[in-house]
């Protein structure tokens, strides 16, 4: 592990800051993920774009996010203006969403997706850093679990509101909803008191080391790349997301076969909502249990993925296929909490917490992007069963990498509990 200090004092934030952090996680849930599948519906049904242009628009945000993730992590480690930059990122997404419907020209929509991608890359490391700077590493387990709980609750509410607005009003209203959530999240971020954030602790350094920069720590990403545990953890995460990212799109295509457009949309919404609802309690419980051991819990998340891929091949019943998404909620709920905690453990005392998060997020984003291309090409040449079983096999490899090459990372103070 990359360590530089044996003990990091606890931080005692005000109730106002903690409640504001809850609200920020709730409202940022939809903001940081952008418009997702609703953009495709809008461009097809309202703007009458062709499939190629829709594909370009849908991919731009993801590409921009991948490109920006590592620089975003480095900037979060170096800046003391985390709140201000987070607010600016949220306002940038609000502006891009409104321009998409107020001035829906080809170049404006594509440019808006790029801006959304750059802005979205900021939120994950920034919120994690603000959280660590507020509560300190000793309280991080429960707090990250709470963050993810509010985040998934926000996703459920946003999905329901977007569905209702799209069905009863018009698709453009979904973009206004995104802009409104961006504005409310900005207010929530502003209510976090600046004095409550320990910016050295937010980097993963001890408060006692403020102002100290040793020469051997200045290498930044080189220190991360030279750490065997971090590299194997990153490899396991990439393989996990390579196996996971394409499963839901493949399931959506399979459910669409022989169904009307309305029924297909309903099934897809059900898949998303089922998974997100399950993630709410799973995230909370994971935060509570994380002090007992990170790795054993993360192994559960990795183990349910190949089971999920296998189960998709055993039934054609749409209700059962949607129900299998419960496993997605379990896996993603655990991973969302523990991936942050394990990076915090592995970089404790180094000041590279957010830099490492960004680097791993970049690799994971690339893996997820390649997953969809790989599975699409495989499906075209084989069948849904072969595609799901291949992804399940890759998930088994990810589980093996985590099991054999990634160590338990919980702090020694927790190991005595």
| pLDDT value for 276 | 87
**Structural domain contains residue 213:** no
Domain that holds residue 287: 220-408
Same domain, 245 and 184: no
- Could you tell me the two tokens for 303? 């183990």
pLDDT tens-digit profile of 161-218? Answer: 887 787 788 878 888 999 999 999 999 999 999 999 999 888 887 655 444 444 444 4
Same domain, 243 and 174: no
Final residue of a structural domain among 203, 228, 244: 203
Same domain, 107 and 234: no
pLDDT tens-digit profile of 293-324? Answer: 899 999 999 999 999 999 999 998 888 999 99
| pLDDT value for 232 | 94
Same domain, 260 and 365: yes
CA-to-CA distance for 411 and 349, rounded, in angstroms?
A: 12
Same domain, 145 and 255: no
CA angle 111, 94, 103 (to 5 degrees): 50
| pLDDT value for 85 | 94
pTM over 0.85: no
**Structural domain contains residue 416:** no
| pLDDT value for 371 | 83
How big is the chain by its Cα radius of gyration, in Å? 21
Q: How many domains, the chain?
A: 2
Q: CATH number, domain at 378?
A: 1.20.1250.20
- Could you tell me the two tokens for 217? 């720590």
| Regions of the chain short of the pLDDT cut 50 | 3-10, 209-219, 413-417
Same domain, 182 and 241: no
Query: Which residues are CB-contacts of 229 (< 8 A; sequence separation ≥ 6)?
Result: 1, 346, 406, 407, 409
| pLDDT value for 9 | 46
């Amino acid at each position: 592990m990359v360590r530089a200090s044996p003990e990091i004092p606890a931080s005692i934030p005000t109730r106002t800051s903690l409640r504001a952090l809850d609200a920020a996680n709730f409202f940022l849930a939809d903001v940081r993920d952008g418009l997702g599948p609703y953009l495709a519906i809008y461009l097809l049904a309202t703007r009458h774009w062709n499939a190629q242009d829709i594909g370009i628009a849908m991919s731009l945000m993801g590409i921009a996010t991948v490109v920006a993730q590592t620089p975003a992590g480095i900037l979060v480690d170096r800046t003391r203006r985390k709140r201000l930059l987070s607010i600016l990122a949220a306002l940038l997404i609000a502006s891009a969403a409104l321009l998409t419907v107020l001035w829906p020209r080809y170049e404006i929509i594509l440019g808006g997706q790029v801006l959304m991608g750059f802005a979205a890359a900021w939120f994950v490391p920034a919120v994690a850093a603000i959280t660590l700077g507020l509560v300190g590493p000793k309280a991080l387990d429960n707090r990250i679990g709470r963050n993810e709980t509010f985040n998934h609750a926000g996703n459920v509410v946003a999905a329901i509101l977007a569905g209702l607005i799209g069905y009863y009003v018009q698709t453009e209203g979904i973009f206004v909803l995104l802009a409104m959530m961006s504005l409310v999240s900005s207010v929530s971020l502003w209510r976090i008191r600046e004095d409550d954030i320990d910016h050295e602790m937010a980097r993963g350094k001890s408060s006692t080391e403020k102002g100290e920069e040793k020469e051997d720590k200045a290498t930044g990403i080189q220190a991360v790349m030279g750490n065997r545990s971090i590299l194997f953890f990153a490899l396991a995460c990439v393989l996990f997301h390579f196996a996971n990212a394409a499963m839901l799109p493949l399931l959506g295509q399979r459910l669409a076969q022989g169904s009307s457009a309305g029924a297909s949309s309903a099934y897809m919404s059900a898949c998303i909502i089922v998974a997100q609802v399950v993630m709410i309690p799973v995230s909370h419980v994971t935060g509570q249990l994380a002090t007992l051991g990170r790795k054993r819990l993360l192994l559960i998340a990795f183990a349910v993925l190949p089971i999920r891929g296998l189960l998709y091949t055993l039934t054609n019943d749409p209700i059962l296929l949607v129900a299998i998404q419960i496993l997605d909620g379990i896996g993603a709920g655990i991973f969302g909490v523990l991936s942050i905690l394990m990076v915090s453990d592995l970089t404790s005392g180094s000041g590279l917490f957010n830099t490492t998060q960004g680097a791993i997020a970049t690799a994971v984003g690339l893996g997820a992007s390649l997953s969809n291309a790989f599975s699409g090409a495989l499906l075209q040449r084989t069948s849904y069963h072969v595609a799901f079983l291949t992804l399940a096999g890759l998930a088994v490899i990810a589980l093996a990498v985590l099991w054999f090459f990634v160590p338990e990372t919980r702090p020694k103070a927790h190991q005595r509990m």
